[in-house]
Amino acid sequence: MNLHIHVPEGAIPKDGPSAGVTMLTALASVLSGRKVKAGLAMTGEITLRGKVLPVGGIKEKILAARRAGLKQIILCKQNEKDIREINPAYIKGMRFHYVETMNEVVDLALMKGKSRV
């Protein structure tokens, strides 16, 4: 199977690798037949070996997730320091999952159940 992902500039400007974790999670969902859990946000760069790397703009992303009503967020372990810089009142009721690998992301993000692979 060959996969090609094309993310054109289009109407929404994009900068940087922040959607790597999200795109690979979507692919894992499609290929396994397991749904992504609702109410979950995620961001992070991934390496070719499946390591999750930190990204910028965490405060803005967290506040956007809160405005969207998302309660759980998956972030790179190295971005934990960025959360400590946010006023606790803004993130009250949110749960953060800090990960180092895509295996951890998939375990957290996809619903349990039978997989196609």
Q: How many domains are contained in the chain?
A: 1
The rounded distance, in Å, linking the Cα atoms of 45 and 103 is 14
pLDDT in tens, 48-61: 999 999 999 999 99
pLDDT in tens, 1-50: 777 776 666 655 656 778 899 999 999 999 999 999 999 999 999 999 99
pTM: 0.86
Q: Is residue 79 part of a domain?
A: yes
Strands 40-42 and 45-46: unpaired
| Residue of 18, 29, 32, 35 marked active site | 18
Task: Give the SS3 label for residue 86.
Answer: coil
Q: Is residue 58 part of a domain?
A: yes
The CATH number of residue 26's host domain is: 3.30.230.10
Q: Is residue 12 part of a domain?
A: no
Q: Is residue 24 part of a domain?
A: yes
Q: Is 74 left (phi over 0), alpha (psi -120 to 50) or beta?
A: beta
Catalytic, 61? Answer yes
| Residue of 37, 51, 59, 61 marked active site | 61
Domain residues for the domain of 42 are 20-109
Catalytic, 115? Answer no
Q: Is residue 7 part of a domain?
A: no
DSSP 21: H
Q: Is residue 15 part of a domain?
A: no
Strands 52-53 and 45-46: antiparallel
89: pLDDT strictly greater than 70:
yes
Q: Is residue 37 part of a domain?
A: yes
